[in-house]
């Protein structure tokens, strides 16, 4: 193309593109806007969306699986063993509960909503809900405590466990004494100590995995 | 005007009152234009813009302005204090003096001087001094580049503007904007963009030239108010707001006000030169002093709408393209138009 032709072509072309562009934009003025007026109108969130965690503490057996699975360690679980005379009830999955849970804290500020804690739970009591508006002014308020035990209940449970342990220890000591005394009376020479509970030697199973 | 004069019977008071009127108008108009701009921009992008302050956010421009006025006025330590402080006011003054010669209505024009059209062109280039001062005084590379760009842009685009004005002057035979408007009175057919109120043969021959001139003046006017696609002095993406990077609070508000007031000025110039100013498009129907104001503002507002529409459609040009458009396209075409119009008028 000669220079003159290019010059006129450029003018024509720029005018044309301007008109094309302006046609597009004016069309958009009259199309419906895509905005959702958020706080008043809310979008439906997906059915399996991952948002705030919820723990149904009545079903929790305190197995700590969720805390182990969590990649950011934001779940803190403390447990107290129950004594055999106490019945903690069963979960909805018919698992017997054996542990008190004095502390079940989730620091939701650290949570990355990966959902890894949800899958290992044997009783399906830690779940994702559809709540996503839980901003707080104080970060402390984002540590959610799900445990429903009062301080008295916790101390009571601890006391019971200690007492039970003492009793067991006393029983054991008595048994040991009894064991020690009986062989001493029958045979003289080498005193036989009861075989200590040895950990089983690690067995290598080559074809595992 | 005479009415107010007899009412107050005091020359000083009358002048103060009359010169304050455009200020009130500017403030109101800026609020409306700000709102329009945001709404149009939003709808072009399929958004909705302000919705919460008042019905569909109509109070938002007021809230924005109040917020701007409350902000801290930061002056950089290493800046040239005196220039930095005065620059926004100079820019605004440049804008404001232009309102003196705008014929709002057949009875209201700030100053009915004979050099109206050229006064407008001169006042328009006065703004650039303020911008250049701001860019220089900020002691900031971006601001300086913005200021310099503004100067070069203004110099380039003053020429097409002035040439376009010359063409109108050739047809009307007057530089007085009030006379130019009166010349076009009496309906849409008499507007200069359609050849003016001349014998129909002449008119038909003039029409292509006036249409081209009109279009070129419009393009040049967008460049003069530094709006996209010619927004080089502020170019957010490359210059971080250019000359007003360092400005905040009240002083920034002055620049802002000046920019939008300028937007109205250039639209008003195009309207009064080519589209019959305050005269009604339907001849004697709906014409009169008050209707005059209505038509003038409505026409100018339509132009501002188009400018907003363009702003949200086109991307920024390159700097060399800016110069190309001005010197190699607009100016030569205007020379051709001047030649054509001159020949037709002489024959
Ligand atoms: S969702 Fe992920 S990050 Fe959050 S608590 Fe569960 S495992 Fe931890
Ligand atoms: S995995 Fe489930 S049952 Fe186990 S501690 Fe976590 S919430 Fe409780």
Q: What is the pLDDT of residues A126-164, one digit of tens each?
A: 888 888 888 889 888 888 888 888 888 888 888 888 888
B321 touches chain A (CB under 8 A): no
Q: What percent of chain B has pLDDT over 90?
A: 0
In this prediction, residue B260 carries a pLDDT of 85
Question: Residues of B with CB below 8 A from A22's CB?
Answer: 309-310, 313
Does residue B135 belong to any structural domain of this protein?
A: yes
Does residue B18 belong to any structural domain of this protein?
A: no
Average pLDDT over residues B64-76: 82
* Same domain as B229, residue B202: yes
Does residue A92 belong to any structural domain of this protein?
A: yes
* Same domain as B214, residue B339: yes
Range of the domain at A93: 53-150
Does residue A60 belong to any structural domain of this protein?
A: yes
Flag whether pLDDT at B234 surpasses 80: no
Does residue B226 belong to any structural domain of this protein?
A: yes
Instruction: Kindly list the protein residues whose Cβ atom lies closer than 6 A to any atom of ligand 1.
Output: A 53, 69-72, 74-75, 106, 111-117
* Same domain as B251, residue B133: yes
Does residue B150 belong to any structural domain of this protein?
A: yes
* Same domain as B61, residue B130: no
pLDDT tens digits along B241-280 = 777 777 877 888 888 888 888 888 888 888 888 887 777 7
Does residue B10 belong to any structural domain of this protein?
A: no
Nearest to B87 by CA among B148, B147, B123, B129: B129
Q: Which residue has the higher pLDDT, B110 or A26?
A: A26
Supply B219's token pair: 């393009």
Place A209 in a pLDDT band, splitting at 50, 70 and 90. very low
* Same domain as B276, residue B210: yes
* Same domain as B164, residue B30: no
What CATH number should be reported for the domain holding residue A138? 3.30.70.3270
Does residue A10 belong to any structural domain of this protein?
A: no
Say what the ipTM of the complex is.
Answer: 0.72
Q: How many domains does one find in chain A? A: 1
Minimal-distance CA residue of chain B relative to A39: B52
pLDDT tens digits along A19-61 = 998 888 888 888 888 888 888 888 888 888 888 888 888 888 8
Average pLDDT, chain A: 81
* Same domain as B199, residue B83: yes
Query: Which bound ligand lies closest to the C-alpha atom of A114?
Result: 1
* Same domain as B281, residue B198: yes
**Which of A11, A22, A33 minimises the CB distance to B46?**
A33
pLDDT tens digits along B301-346 = 888 888 888 888 888 888 888 888 888 888 888 898 888 888 888 7
Distance B245 CA to ligand 1 centre (A): 44
Place B114 in a pLDDT band, splitting at 50, 70 and 90. confident
pLDDT tens digits along B125-138 = 788 888 888 888 88
Question: Residues of A with CB below 8 A from B44's CB?
Answer: 25, 28-29
Which stretch of A38-52, B56-70, B184-198 has the lowest confidence by average pLDDT? Answer: B184-198
Average pLDDT over residues B161-190: 81
* Same domain as B53, residue B131: no
Tell me if residue B104 falls in helix, strand or coil: coil
Flag whether pLDDT at A208 surpasses 50: no
* Same domain as B113, residue B248: yes
In this prediction, residue A71 carries a pLDDT of 92
Q: Which residue has the higher pLDDT, B242 or B221?
A: B221
* Same domain as B118, residue B43: no
Helix (H) or strand (E) run with residue B85 in it: helix B81-98
Does residue A91 belong to any structural domain of this protein?
A: yes
Does residue A175 belong to any structural domain of this protein?
A: no
Range of the domain at B287: 74-346
Flag whether pLDDT at B67 surpasses 60: yes
Does residue A32 belong to any structural domain of this protein?
A: no
Q: How many domains does one find in chain B? A: 2
* Same domain as B138, residue B88: yes
Average pLDDT, chain B: 81
B282 touches chain A (CB under 8 A): no
Average pLDDT over residues B7-33: 78
Flag whether pLDDT at A112 surpasses 70: yes
């Amino acid at each position: 193309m000669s220079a003159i032709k290019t010059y006129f072509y450029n003018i024509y072309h720029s005018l044309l593109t301007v008109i094309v562009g302006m046609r597009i934009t004016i069309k958009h003025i009259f199309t419906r806007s895509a905005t959702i007026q958020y706080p008043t109108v809310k979008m439906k969130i997906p059915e399996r969306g991952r948002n705030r965690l919820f723990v149904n503490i009545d079903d929790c057996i305190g197995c700590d699986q969720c805390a182990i699975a969590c990649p950011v360690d934001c779940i803190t679980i403390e447990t107290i063993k129950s004594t055999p005379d106490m019945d903690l009830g069963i979960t909805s999955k018919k698992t017997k509960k054996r542990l008190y849970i004095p502390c079940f804290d989730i620091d939701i500020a650290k949570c990355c909503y990966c959902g890894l804690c949800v899958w290992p739970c044997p009783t399906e009591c830690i779940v994702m809900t559809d709540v996503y508006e839980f901003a707080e002014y104080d970060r402390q308020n984002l540590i959610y405590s799900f445990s429903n035990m009062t301080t008295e209940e916790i101390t009571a449970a601890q006391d019971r466990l200690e007492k039970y342990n003492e009793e067991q220890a006393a029983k054991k000591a008595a048994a040991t004494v009894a064991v020690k005394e009986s062989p001493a009376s029958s045979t003289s020479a080498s005193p036989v100590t009861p075989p200590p509970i040895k950990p089983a030697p690690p067995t290598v199973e080559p074809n595992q995995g | 005007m005479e009415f107010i004069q007899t009412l107050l019977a005091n020359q000083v008071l009358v002048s103060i009152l009359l010169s304050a009127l455009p200020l009130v108008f500017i403030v109101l108009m800026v609020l409306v234009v700000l709102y329009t701009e945001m709404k149009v921009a939003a709808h072009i992008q399929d958004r909705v813009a302000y919705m919460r302050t008042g019905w569909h956010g109509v109070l938002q421009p007021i809230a924005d302005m109040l917020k701007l006025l409350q902000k801290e006025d930061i002056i950089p330590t290493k800046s040239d204090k005196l220039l930095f402080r005065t620059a926004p006011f100079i820019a605004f003054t440049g804008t404001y003096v232009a309102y003196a010669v705008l014929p709002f209505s057949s009875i209201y024009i700030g100053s009915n001087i004979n050099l109206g059209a050229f006064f407008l062109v001169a006042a328009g280039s006065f703004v650039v001094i303020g911008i250049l001062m701001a860019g220089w005084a900020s002691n900031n590379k971006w601001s300086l580049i913005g200021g310099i760009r503004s100067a070069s842009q203004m110099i380039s685009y003053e020429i097409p503007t002035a040439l376009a004005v010359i063409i109108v002057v050739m047809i009307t035979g007057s530089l007085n904007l009030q006379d130019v408007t009166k010349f076009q009175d009496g309906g849409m057919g008499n507007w200069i963009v359609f050849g003016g109120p001349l014998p129909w043969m002449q008119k038909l021959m003039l029409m292509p030239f006036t249409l081209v001139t009109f279009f070129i003046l419009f393009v040049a006017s967008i460049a003069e108010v530094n709006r996209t696609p010619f927004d080089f002095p502020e170019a957010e993406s490359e210059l971080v707001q250019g000359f007003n990077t360092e400005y905040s609070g009240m002083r920034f508000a002055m620049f802002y006000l000046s920019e939008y007031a300028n937007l109205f000025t250039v639209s008003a110039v195009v309207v009064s030169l080519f589209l019959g100013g305050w005269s009604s498009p339907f001849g004697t129907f709906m014409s009169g002093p008050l209707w005059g104001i209505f038509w003038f503002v409505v026409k100018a507002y339509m132009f501002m709408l188009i400018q907003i529409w363009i702003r949200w459609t086109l991307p920024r040009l390159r700097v060399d393209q800016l110069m190309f458009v001005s010197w190699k396209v607009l100016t030569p075409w205007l020379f051709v138009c001047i030649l054509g119009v001159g020949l037709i008028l002489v024959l």
